């Protein structure tokens, strides 16, 4: 008999597993069954590890029976984005070129999750090579938003967003180069955290753009994200961008207390050209925090006007360098959309790239100065809600606007600066979720998670779930 276990968060499931009222085997079977049943609808998985997951669930169950409970994620079944290497498993990057690529080692984050007792149910779809925001994949088909199957789930971690929102994975990891954790998290109504650059090792993750890439949690709740961040964080000498800083106890920082919190609001950039319903929901959440004792200060960040240019030049150049050889030898094996981007990435000069890095430095300095005045910055995660699959344009207050340019506008600056940024749900436009973004100072993930937790306590989604559940 089917239960509603697939709807529950890690924080709900973990106590049941720890006190032995829920078997990891029972839970894993339900998640796998639901994932396989929902696959024709949302197309979130690239591969299922059915037999292996059941075997590992049995091992986890025995460990817990024997008193060896490892923590909140022990016995939790989840799938990961298909650019994270699993030893002796195919990692496709949802591409044609790497469709048979097998790594001989685990990514660091995979190692850490294994050590925490996670049960891996499979790999999740993504925009090809993580270079896009729709997850409309020419090789494996589009991933569909569980709230509206005609809409995009966002990308590039669209499989992760759709799977977690629908219940096909209890939680997941995504990667984020211009917003690819936060975009699908916003579009699918879940929590998505891009940690500080260097907080989480990227060893064993196929790169998109070295200096902009991040790995982070995509979960149903803020507590789930905080607990996962504790597991995956920490210095790793195999990743040259990893920073040796202590890992905090993030769960202990989730008090929900925002009294005297100073919220920075940047009107010129982060509230410029925003869907009116999105803006209304985000401002209402800010007001909720003010009602709990927070304060708002309007701030100026002048160099943000150059952020989109710096983000595009940096990501195009670095991504094209990575794929240069394949672009020369087998251009026809790339999807049309990303082949064009890689070709464009051959155009910026060394001068362009270095000027973009100067802009990054200036933006980073201005953010550092702002965080001497305020504790966090809050903005919409996206200026729009999810658009229709296959449409290159989105509607913004009745106007047709370019999708890519608009969807990364508010997420890209945190990749340029490397600052931690969290997307949490804050309401709906019709039946589509709206996300709110919280940006904080470097290595202050606990602070932004606590603000997200305070927002979550207001129940902005009103316990609504995607209609997908009623249709299966």
The token pair at 239 is 């990743």
Q: What is the DSSP letter of 347?
A: S
- What's the sign of the alpha-carbon dihedral 220, 223, 224, 228? positive
Dist CA 266 CA 269 (whole Å):
6
Tokens 């569909």, residue located = 144
186 part of the active site? no
- The active-site residue out of 9, 94, 95, 156 is 156
Catalytic residue among 38, 95, 157, 180: 180
Q: What are phi and psi of 364, to 5 degrees?
A: -60, -40
Backbone angles phi, psi at 317, to 5 degrees: -65, -45
**What is 412-462 written as a DSSP string?**
HHHHHH---EEEEEEEEETTEEEEEEEE-STT-HHHHHHHHHHHHTT-TTT
DSSP secondary structure of 121-189: EEEE--SGGG--SS-EETTTEE--BTTBTTB---SSSHHHHHHHHHTSSS-EEEEESSSTTHHHHHHHT
Nearest Cα residue to 139 out of 43, 207, 48: 43
Question: Count of residues for the chain?
Answer: 472
Q: Phi/psi class of residue 390: alpha, beta or left (left: φ > 0; alpha: ψ in -120 to 50)? A: left
Q: Which residues pair with 263 in a beta bridge?
A: 296, 376
Using CA atoms of 333, 347, 400, 306 in order, give the dihedral in degrees to the nearest 10: 130
Report the C-alpha gap between 194 and 197 in whole angstroms: 8
Closest CA to 176 of 437, 425, 457: 437
Torsion region of 256: left, alpha or beta (phi above 0 gives left; psi -120 to 50 gives alpha)? left
> Beta 399-402 vs 432-439: how paired, if at all?
unpaired
Phi and psi at 177, nearest 5°, equal -115, -30
Catalytic residue among 81, 151, 202, 223: 81
**Residue 282 vs residues 10, 46, 63, 267, 270: alpha-carbon distances, Å:** 26, 34, 44, 13, 11
**285 catalytic residue (yes or no):** no
Helix (H, G, I), strand (E, B) or coil at 225: helix
In Å, the largest CA–CA distance within the chain is 63
156 part of the active site: yes
Distance CA(284)–CA(305), nearest Å, equals 26
Cis peptide before 156 (omega within 30 of 0): yes
Active-site positions read 81, 156, 180
């Amino acid at each position: 008999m089917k239960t509603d276990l697939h709807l529950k968060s890690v924080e709900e499931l973990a106590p049941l597993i720890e006190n032995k009222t829920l078997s990891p085997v029972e839970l894993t079977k339900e998640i796998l069954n639901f994932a396989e049943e929902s696959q024709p609808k949302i197309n979130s998985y690239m591969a299922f590890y059915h037999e292996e997951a059941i075997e590992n669930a049995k091992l986890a169950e025995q460990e817990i029976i024997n008193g060896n409970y490892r923590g909140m994620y022990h016995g939790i079944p989840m799938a990961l984005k298909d650019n994270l290497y699993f030893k002796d498993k195919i990692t496709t990057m949802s591409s044609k070129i790497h469709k048979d690529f097998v790594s001989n080692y685990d990514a660091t984050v995979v190692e850490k999750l294994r050590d925490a007792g996670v049960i891996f149910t499979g790999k999740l779809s993504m925009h090809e090579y993580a270079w896009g925001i729709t997850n409309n994949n020419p090789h494996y088909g589009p991933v569909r938003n569980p709230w509206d199957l005609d809409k995009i789930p966002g990308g590039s971690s669209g499989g992760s967003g759709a799977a977690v929102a629908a219940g096909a994975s209890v939680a997941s990891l995504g990667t984020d180069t211009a917003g690819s954790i936060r975009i699908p998290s916003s579009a699918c109504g879940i929590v998505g955290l891009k940690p500080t650059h260097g907080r989480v090792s990227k060893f064993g993750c196929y790169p998109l753009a070295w200096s902009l890439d991040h790995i982070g949690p995509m979960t149903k709740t803020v507590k789930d994200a905080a607990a996962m961040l504790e597991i995956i964080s920490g210095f790793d000498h195999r990743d040259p961008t990893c920073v040796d800083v202590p890992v905090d106890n993030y769960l202990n920082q989730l008090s929900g207390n925002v009294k005297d919190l100073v919220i920075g609001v940047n009107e010129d950039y982060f509230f410029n050209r925003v869907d009116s319903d999105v803006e209304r929901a985000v401002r209402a959440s800010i007001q909720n925090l003010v009602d709990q004792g927070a304060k708002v200060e309007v701030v100026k960040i002048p160099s943000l006007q150059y952020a989109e240019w710096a983000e595009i030049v940096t990501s195009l150049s670095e991504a094209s360098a990575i794929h240069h050889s394949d672009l020369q030898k087998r251009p026809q094996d790339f999807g049309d959309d990303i082949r064009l981007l890689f070709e464009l990435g051959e155009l910026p000069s060394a001068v362009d790239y270095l000027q973009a890095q100067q802009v990054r430095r200036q933006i980073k300095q201005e953010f550092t100065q702002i965080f001497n005045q305020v504790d966090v910055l809050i903005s919409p995660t996206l200026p729009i809600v999810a658009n229709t699959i296959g449409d290159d344009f989105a509607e913004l207050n009745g106007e047709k606007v370019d999708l890519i340019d608009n969807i990364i506008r508010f997420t890209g600056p945190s990749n340029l600066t490397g600052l931690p940024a969290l997307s949490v749900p804050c309401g709906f436009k019709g039946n589509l979720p709206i996300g709110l973004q919280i940006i904080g100072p470097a290595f202050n993930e606990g602070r932004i998670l606590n603000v997200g937790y305070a927002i979550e306590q207001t129940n902005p989604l009103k316990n609504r779930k995607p209609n997908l559940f009623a249709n299966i």
